[in-house]
Structure 1
């Protein structure tokens, strides 16, 4: 695939289609009665089965082909960090996110993910990895982006508004409508935001981790493995009836394999390729498409009632996303130096946010 032409645009749209399917299929599995905690265990187990052999093969091949520069060794210190980061980024974040998705809708879940770049920027700001020059246009636009995201979350949580009828009278993944109270909806929305914040924190923490242990594939695979073990403990505590752990040829099994293989393996490769061809900002700017696709698909396939408040809140979140992305790109054009040590700038490391974008860590398992 070449750098020119329409291929990167097709790939960028394909990535958002994959994420749309992930939101819709996961929600359909939860509607069918699949326990969210059991789902996370199976998902991470399947992802480990995919990634760990690939990581071992890659490390073995590197050791044989380039013995002078072998694959980095994994120390006990690195293993402990991977365990903690798996606890944060996989076990906690994914369980909170999916429980929240069950209480809200696929549309809200998709909209919330657009706040991740803004949440990552805020965390980097609090950790003094980023700076905001309020007297510059880029700094002001970043702050406006943060405000728009906060407003979007509040609109989704507190305002329902008129509803849009489902596009299909007989949806593919039909289920009995579940009545969700206002309190549960508000709680679910803010838990989604919490999951996005902890997910963003996980992204920020990957930067020093990958600098210390640069084997990205092995680091991801080990975090999946630790996350699967941790999620098993959580699932056992929550769901002790093992008859409910059984999987059949249904939407639950489809959701597990879809999320593990398409949502992890394929999307990671496509995002890495697309970011290499066109840059990380090009990849991020297409993410609102997943929201549009999810609104249509959740209505057609799930029969979900989409509320005006979810659409308006999603628009505000997308506006916040583009504001932060524009501010970042403007800073790069003006060569505004962030608050990082000189030696890192000389090494071409960039800011943590730029680094994590280059490493494509937003393709969380």
Structure 2
């Protein structure tokens, strides 16, 4: 593999996905501030944020049809876009409802199951190879388990403080079960969300095979979600005053979420899903908890606890174990392809064919 190919297939996906997880932590913090200070409805928030992303990506279908060969928009493809939008929208709404019934910490804990669900679905749909005798497959399994375990350690185990900051902060940590919460109902909604996320990953990969234009897929997805969110939102929030957004943190949160979340983040994930596959992308989910802890200590003045250090270390070991397994699997596939090209049978066939043609 050339240096350019290595950068495109390995360095760039890793760098962009880590960057997007950092951006997501900031967007989540901004969304929490907007909902607490301005009491904006999440139905309204989702509708506006996805509408902003759809407007930004509006020219993409025209450029896609000019630059590459894509199939025409028939009824079947439109229905698949709508189904993909329905899955994504349902995932987000169930997540918001689950957090309202429980807490963000429980949401973070259950989100760590996304790599496991994605790995199982990818094997079922034959997007991932599983051979227990292969060291790459064993590395992916062990790494996935380690990453999930480390994320649970960060969320559920506090431990003694390691670094105590001297200035007040807004902590990213919240109790697992806040007063008046319904943990069982919240957990069911959150489990539904994080079962739908791997289904969305798999569906997006299949959609990219049928309609190979990343930005166009992201545009139609955002358009479907914004329309669906507007319909549901008007039923859930019939008061038009709830849809009026003033020049405050709510507007800033909507614009940032639309530009960096619904537009850029989904576009990067769509591209990474096509290049590296769903399991690779899902492995960054536990990593975001370690990123949130690090950003909380550096920028918000959170206290660093021993549980966070231990959990982040386990997450890192598991994450890089999976990365090693994926890299070795790709290297083995490349060696097999090179071996097939250099095999005697592959070289004899054209020669035999040429002699046959000369005889004729």
Which residue of structure 2 lines up, in the alignment, with residue 54 of structure 1? 59
**Aligned pairs for 1:247-326 within 5 A:** 247-267=245-265, 290-298=288-296, 316-317=314-315, 319-326=317-324
CA displacement at 1:195 relative to structure 2 = 2.6
CA contact (8 A) 1:72 1:215 kept: no
Q: 2: CA distance between counterparts of 1:313 and 1:22? A: 23
CA displacement at 1:94 relative to structure 2 = 1.8
Q: 2: CA distance between counterparts of 1:37 and 1:166? A: 37
Q: 2: CA distance between counterparts of 1:49 and 1:195? A: 26
Q: 1: CA distance between counterparts of 2:179 and 2:312? A: 21
Give the TM-score of the pair, scaled to structure 1. Answer: 0.68
Within the candidate set 46, 52, 58, 1:40 is matched to 46
More helix per residue:
2
CA contact (8 A) 2:106 2:176 kept: no
Which residue of structure 1 lines up, in the alignment, with residue 238 of structure 2? 240
Query: Taking structure 1 as reference, are residues 55 and 210 closer, same or farther at Cα in structure 2, changes over 3 Å only?
Result: same
**Largest Rg, 1 or 2:** 2
- Unaligned 5+ segments in structure 2 are 342-360
Query: Taking structure 1 as reference, are residues 332 and 251 closer, same or farther at Cα in structure 2, changes over 3 Å only?
Result: same
Query: Taking structure 1 as reference, are residues 179 and 288 closer, same or farther at Cα in structure 2, changes over 3 Å only?
Result: closer
How many residues are aligned here?
325
CA displacement at 1:288 relative to structure 2 = 6.7
Which residue of structure 1 lines up, in the alignment, with residue 218 of structure 2? 220
Q: 1: CA distance between counterparts of 2:190 and 2:308? A: 13
- Unaligned 5+ segments in structure 1 are 347-365
Which residue of structure 1 lines up, in the alignment, with residue 73 of structure 2? 74
Q: 2: CA distance between counterparts of 1:81 and 1:262? A: 25
Query: Taking structure 1 as reference, are residues 275 and 22 closer, same or farther at Cα in structure 2, changes over 3 Å only?
Result: same
Query: Taking structure 1 as reference, are residues 25 and 224 closer, same or farther at Cα in structure 2, changes over 3 Å only?
Result: same
Which residue of structure 1 lines up, in the alignment, with residue 134 of structure 2? 136
Which residue of structure 1 lines up, in the alignment, with residue 85 of structure 2? 86
Q: 2: CA distance between counterparts of 1:28 and 1:300? A: 19
CA contact (8 A) 1:44 1:228 kept: yes
CA displacement at 1:335 relative to structure 2 = 2.6
Q: 1: CA distance between counterparts of 2:126 and 2:225? A: 29
Alpha-carbon RMSD across the aligned residues, in angstroms, is 4.7
Which residue of structure 1 lines up, in the alignment, with residue 33 of structure 2? 28
List per-residue Cα deviations over 1:123-171 (Å, max 9, x = no partner).
11133433311122222222223433554565577x3545868875265
CA displacement at 1:77 relative to structure 2 = 0.6
Q: 2: CA distance between counterparts of 1:95 and 1:301? A: 29
CA displacement at 1:83 relative to structure 2 = 0.6
Q: 2: CA distance between counterparts of 1:77 and 1:59? A: 19
